[in-house]
Amino acid sequence: MGKQRNPFRCLVDSEEGIRNFRMEYSIPPTVGMRYAAQGEWVDARQTGEVVIPMIAFIEGGMTIPMGSITRGYLNFFRLSPTQCAPNMFRVLGSIDALNQRMGLNLSHHDVNWVYSLHRLADQDYYLKSRYPEVRLIQCLPTSNKHLKEDFLIFSGEWHDGLSCPTVEGTPGGCEVIDLCYLAHNHILITFTIFASRNF
């Protein structure tokens, strides 16, 4: 038998379930929360709302408001939570927890030094260790199948003034500059400045 589809829906399919989920993951009462399955959240999401996979809370240590590592990494690469594979939440959430409990003061730049960002065929992004012998987080599962089919849509005060992207983006989405072209123009500008001077 295959794995159950929408395995986490049962956790929030009743008023009691929603209350328990809020209590378990310390979601403030000022934050609106509703369920959406894969394929539903695109039309259900309103402006200013953020969609987060339930697996990010259950196994990834996601918090509302977001931890600084998770938020910083998503902002740096212009990713919304819907674009991230479950293992990314496990890595980022674990480092947020380490910072809080051990006072390590790591940043998303430290994550980027150890892990590189890769893209899956289904549009999800995941983290891969740059050096197999160096990892910030160990013992990650090898399969995420069917773990990202349940989502929560958050509204209201879901961030503390520092939000993450709420719409899907492209990492490094700025225009790539031709370095040869840039160097050529720099040489021309420098030559023009010197040529215009009277020595």
Question: What residues form DSSP beta bridges with 36?
Answer: 151
pLDDT of residue 133: 73
Q: How many domains does the chain have?
A: 1
DSSP reduced 3-state for 15: helix
Q: Does residue 49 belong to any structural domain of this protein? A: yes
Region 12-32: mean pLDDT is: 96
pLDDT tens-digit profile of 41-70? 999 999 999 999 999 999 888 999 999 999
pLDDT tens-digit profile of 64-85? 999 999 999 999 999 999 999 9
Confidence of residue 199 (pLDDT cuts 50, 70, 90): very low
Q: Does residue 194 belong to any structural domain of this protein? A: no
DSSP reduced 3-state for 16: helix
Local structure of residue 134 (DSSP, 8 states): B
Q: Does residue 28 belong to any structural domain of this protein? A: yes
Q: What is the dihedral of CA 83, 31, 15, 2, to 10 degrees?
A: 10
Q: Does residue 179 belong to any structural domain of this protein? A: no
Region 123-147: mean pLDDT is: 71
Q: Does residue 58 belong to any structural domain of this protein? A: yes
Contacts of 104 (CB under 8 A, 6+ apart): 98
Q: Does residue 143 belong to any structural domain of this protein? A: yes
Q: Does residue 112 belong to any structural domain of this protein? A: yes
Please state, in angstroms and rounded to a whole number, the distance separating the CA atoms of residues 38 and 17.
Answer: 20
Q: Does residue 190 belong to any structural domain of this protein? A: no
- Residue 195: is its pLDDT beyond 90? no
**Token pair belonging to 68:** 């600084």
Contacts of 71 (CB under 8 A, 6+ apart): 65, 159, 162, 163, 164
Region 12-36: mean pLDDT is: 96
Q: Look up the pTM and report it.
A: 0.80
* Domain enclosing residue 170, as ranges: 9-174
Please state, in angstroms and rounded to a whole number, the distance separating the CA atoms of residues 156 and 158.
Answer: 6
- Residue 2: is its pLDDT beyond 90? no
